[in-house]
Amino acid sequence: MALPRHAKYVVIGAGVHGLSTAWHLAKELEARGAGSGADVIVLDKTGVGAGPSGIACGVIRNNYFQPAMRELMAYSVGVWESDPEAFHYHPVGYMQLGPEVMHADVVQIYEQQRAIGYASELVEGEADCHAYMEGIFSDWQAGGVTVVLHEKRGGYAENLPSMIGLRGKSEALGVELHAPVTVAGFRMEGGAIAAVQTDRGDIECDQVIVAAGPWVRDFWRLLDLPATITVRGRDGKDHERPMWTYWCLQEGTLGVDPTYLTDNEGNPPPVIHIDTDAPLLDGMDGSLVTDELWGIYYKPDFNFGGVQGGAMPWVVKEPADDVKVDPYGAKSKEYVVTEEFERMWTSALAHCHKRFEGKRPLYHKAPTGGIGAFTPDSFPVFDRFRENAYVVADSNHGYKMIGVGALVAKELLGEQQALLEPFRFSRYAQGKLHPVSHSPFPWS
C-alpha cells in the first residue's frame, strides 16, 4: 500500500494506544460529521503488536493506590467489556493479596473503589484471608496474608489477538495501517509539526499522535524535548531527574496445561497478585530466595500455553542518549530472561500452591517481558507538545489502559478530558505527584 503524502492525523505506533486512538478517533470524526477514518493513518516500524502490547502478561485491573489511576482504569475496563470477543478478553476478576505493611493501603483502595461504584470484596485478618483463599484453591498454603481485595471485574486479555481485534475495528472505519515504516524525524514550521519524515517519504499532517511505548524516548528527542527535567518533590524542593528510566519487565510461563490452575469448581480463577514479606524459600532445595518484601502475579493463559505471570522489574542501565532504543531487538534479550527470575517466580508459585511444588523444570526458557520506559514518577504522561504533537507515554501501564485512546481522541477534537488532567507533564514542575503505596512494584 502506497504511503499517502498527506493525512490529517498520523498515529505512530500500532500497539494498544495507537490502535485504540485510531479506532476511537475514526468513530468520533464520523459521529461529529467532522471526517472519517480515512483521515487517520497508523505507522509502525514492524507491525501490529510488535512491542509490549503483543507479548506482555495482559492483566486488566483497577487495583491502584492512586485515585487518578483507579478512575482511569475503571473507564478502561468498561472499554474491554464493550466487546470481549473482539478483544479476546477474559473477565475472570482480579485479586490483590497483601501483608500487614500494605493492609491500610489495600483498605483505602477498596473504599475508593466503592466510592466510584467499582465492584470488589474486602477480606481482613490472616485467618479469614486464608479461609477465603482456601475456598477458591484447596491447595492454598501462603501464610502472612492479612488483607485480600477481590475485584469482581477485570481479568486478562490475549495480547496479539486483542491487537488484531483493535486493528479490525479501526480498519472497518477506513483507517489505514502502514508497516513497516520507520519514522526518522519531523519537519517543523513555526513551532508545529508540518510533516512526519519516514524512510518511505514525508507525510504532511495536521496532528501527530506518538504512541510508541518503550520507544518514546527516541520520539521525545526528535521533538527536541528535555532528557532531564525539574521535579518538585514532596519536600517542596526542586530535583533534577532523567525523563526516562528503563526497567526490565520480568515475566514468564510455566509449561503446564492452562487448566492445571483452576479453582475448586474447575473454573478459570481470578488473576492472582500477591505481595508478601514472608520469607521465600527455593521451591526445589529449600534455600532462602529472599526475606524482603516480594510480589508476583499469575494466571492460566491458553494464549501463552501454560500458567503465565511476572514479578517485580529491575532497573537496567539506560542506553547513551545518542543510541536508539530497541527494547525488543536482539541486543535486549539479555535483559529479558534471567535465571534469578525463573528461580524466584517458580518458588513463589510453590509458596502459594502445593500443586506447583517441584515444577520448576517445566518453566519455558523463552524470551518474554521486555524493557519499559518509565517516567520520573513511574506514572503516565498524556499531553500535547510542539502545538500539534500529542504524546501518549504510558510508563509501562499500557496494555490494560485501552480506554486512553478514547479519551485522547476526544482531546484531539478539542474536548478536554478530566480523567487525563492528573497526567499532564506540568505536574512535575508543580509538584502535583501521585501518592506512593507500600507495594514493592514501582507502578502500584
For 353-371, the three-class secondary structure string (H helix, E strand, C coil) is: EHHHCCCHHHECCCCCCEE
Count other Cβ atoms within 10 Å, centred on residue 32.
Answer: 10
Q: Is 334 helix (H, G, I), strand (E, B) or coil?
A: helix
Sequence-distant (6+) residues with CB within 8 A of 39 are 7, 8, 9, 26, 29
Go through the chain and tell me how many residues it has. 444
Triad 296, 405, 273: Cα angle to 5° = 10
pLDDT in tens, 27-86: 999 999 999 999 999 999 999 988 888 877 889 999 888 889 999 999 999 999 999 999
* Higher-confidence position of 1 and 347: 347
What is the overall mean pLDDT for the chain?
91
Residue 440 — very low, low, confident or very high, per pLDDT cuts 50/70/90?
Answer: low
Task: Enter the C-alpha cell of residue 267.
Answer: 473454573
- Does residue 444 surpass a pLDDT of 70? no
pLDDT tens readout for residues 179-226: 999 999 999 999 999 999 999 999 999 999 999 999 999 999 999 999
pLDDT higher than threshold 70 for residue 318: no
Please indicate whether residue 188 or residue 246 has the higher confidence score (pLDDT): 188
Residue 328, pLDDT score: 52
For residue 354, the number of C-alpha atoms closer than 13 Å in the C-beta half-sphere is: 6
Q: What share of the chain is helix, strand, coil (3-state, %, to 5)?
A: 30, 30, 40
Question: Which stretches within 60-206 are classed as H helix?
Answer: 67-82, 84-87, 103-115, 126-134, 159-172
- Distance between CA atoms of residues 386 and 191, nearest Å: 6
1-90+154-238+378-435 in CATH: which number? Answer: 3.50.50.60
C-alpha cell at 284: 526445589
Containing H/E element for 392?
A: strand 389-393
**Residue matched to cell numbers 541486543:** 331
96: left (phi over 0), alpha (psi -120 to 50) or beta: beta
**Alpha-carbon gap, residue 20 to 82, rounded angstroms:** 13
Distance of alpha carbon 300 from alpha carbon 229, whole angstroms: 41
Averaged pLDDT, 75-102: 96
Give which of 310, 295, 311, 271 is closest to 61, Cα–Cα: 271
- Kindly state the percentage of the chain with pLDDT values over 90: 78
Cβ pair 175, 19 in contact under 8 A: no
- Mean predicted confidence (pLDDT) in 281-296: 94
Up-side HSE of residue 257: CA atoms within 13 Å toward CB? Answer: 3
Q: Is 49 left (phi over 0), alpha (psi -120 to 50) or beta?
A: left
Residue with cell 493463559: 301
The answer to whether residue 324 scores a pLDDT higher than 80 is no
Which residues, listed in sequence order, are joined to residue 98 by a DSSP beta bridge?
147
User: pLDDT band for position 331 (50/70/90)?
Assistant: very low
Nearest-Å Rg of the Cα atoms of the chain is 22
pTM: 0.92
